[in-house]
Structures are given as C-alpha cells and as structure tokens.
Amino acid sequence: MNVLNFVNAFFSDGAHWHGYDGIPTRLVEHVQYTLMALGLAAAIGLPVGLLTGHTGRGGNAVAFVATAARALPSFGLLVLIAVVVGIGLLPVMIPLVVLAVPPILVTTYEAVRSLDPAPVDAARGMGMTETGILFRVELPVALPLVLSGLRSAAIQVVSTATIAAYVSLGGLGRYIIDGLYQRDYEKVVGGAALVALLALVTLAVFWAAGRFVVSPGVRRR
C-alpha cells in the first residue's frame, strides 16, 4: 500500500469524522493552539521589532535573542517545561512562542530599519509625531515584509503544534502519535496530510491578507 492509499483509507473511514477524536475536533484544537501561540508571539515580536526598527537601537540585542531562540529545540523545551510545571497548555505554548518570535521579531525589525529614510525625514519635517511616523509612514510600507515574518512563524507553528499531543493535549498531533503507538499507519499519514493541508491554508490566508491590507502603491500593482 502506498501513501495515497493510506490517505484515502483514512479520510473515507466514517469513524474519523465525528466524536472527540474526529477530524473536525482535532482540526479546531490545532487551529486554536496555533492562533494562541501566534497571537502571543506577535504580541511580543511586533512591538519590539517595530520599536527597535524605528529607533535603530537595540539591533544587536534583537539578533542575539533571535539566534538564541532558534537554537532551542522545541521538543526538548516541551519536555523540560512539562517536567518542571507539569502537563498542560503552558509546556506547549512556551516552545511554540519561542519558535514563532524570532521570525516575527527579526523580519519586523529589518523591515522597518531598511526603509527608505527620505519619507520618514519628510514626515518628521512636516511635523508628524514619532508614533504617527511609525504607524502611518513606516508600517504601511514595511507591511509586506512584516506579513512574511508572520507567515513563516505561522507555518512553523502549524507543523510544530503537533507536539501538543505528547503532553496529552489534542490537535492533529494526536493522529500521528497515537497512530505510531498503535502502528496504525493510516492514521499517521492521514494526520500528517492534515497538517500539510493546514499549512497550505495558512499560506492562502496570508496571501489573501496581503492582497487586502497592503496598499497597491506598495505592491506596485
């Protein structure tokens, strides 16, 4: 049996479509973990990135934090925190947030810092406040890059959120882990296919968001 057959068998089994272990439930759980982690990471990465990028100060600190965070293995972190604080949402959220902050922080910082200085100078010269400059001059032009940072963070979180299953939580990781344990490869492949699908949907969402929120003057189309 090849992979496609596994996938086919998994999705055509009616038992996989309802109940607490059904696809809709696991999908919703997975999306919840992802959104929560992404929201927390954005709440940290965006303001810090915007501020350091705008002032041009703290660039070294940003680079250091990002490199350090990238060096941490998500799974190791999960186990470590689960040992310290016990099983629950926290040991899942921390590794996911640590994973998602660097791409958001670094691209946002770079996006703002590398902007053409002329419009900023013009805005300041016409009496715009610093907050005004950041949100009305810099952010709209930096937006495509900022979104791309959020996008790579989102993709990484979507695939890594499977680790939630290790600490007895739900999400699509359940199929993969349970499947491996039960030697039910149909389940493993089906779960992996769902994660891949969700990653594609994430890409589509960001593409649509880009079309919607980035000015045509910046997209140059």
Q: Which stretch binds other proteins (CB under 8 A): 8-16, 92-100, 124-132, 184-192?
A: 124-132
**Closest separation between CB of residue 212 and other proteins, Å?**
14
132 near other proteins, judged by CB under 8 A: yes
Contact map string, positions 64 to 103, toward other proteins, x by CB under 8 A? ----------------------------------------
**Closest separation between CB of residue 69 and other proteins, Å?**
31
**Closest separation between CB of residue 135 and other proteins, Å?**
12
135 near other proteins, judged by CB under 8 A: no
55 near other proteins, judged by CB under 8 A: no
118 near other proteins, judged by CB under 8 A: yes
Q: Which member of 55, 67, 114, 129 binds other proteins (CB under 8 A)?
A: 129
Q: In the 8-state DSSP scheme, what is residue 163?
A: G
Q: Which member of 44, 124, 152, 210 binds other proteins (CB under 8 A)?
A: 124
Q: Which member of 7, 137, 145, 209 binds other proteins (CB under 8 A)?
A: 137
Q: Which member of 40, 140, 152, 185 binds other proteins (CB under 8 A)?
A: 140
In the 3-class helix/strand/coil scheme, how is the chain assigned residue by residue?
CCHHHHHHHHHHCHHHHCCCCCHHHHHHHHHHHHHHHHHHHHHHHHHHHHHHHHHCCCHHHHHHHHHHHHHCCHHHHHHHHHHHHCCCCHHHHHHHHHHHHHHHHHHHHHHHHCCCHHHHHHHHHCCCCHHHHHHHHHHHHHHHHHHHHHHHHHHHHHHHHHHHHHHCCCCCHHHHHHHHHHCCHHHHHHHHHHHHHHHHHHHHHHHHHHHHHCCHHHHCC
Count of alpha carbons within 13 Å of 134, Cβ hemisphere only?
A: 16
**Closest separation between CB of residue 55 and other proteins, Å?**
16
Q: How far apart are CA 133 and CA 129, in angstroms?
A: 6
Residues near other proteins (CB under 8 A) are 116, 118-129, 132, 136-137, 140-141, 214-218, 220
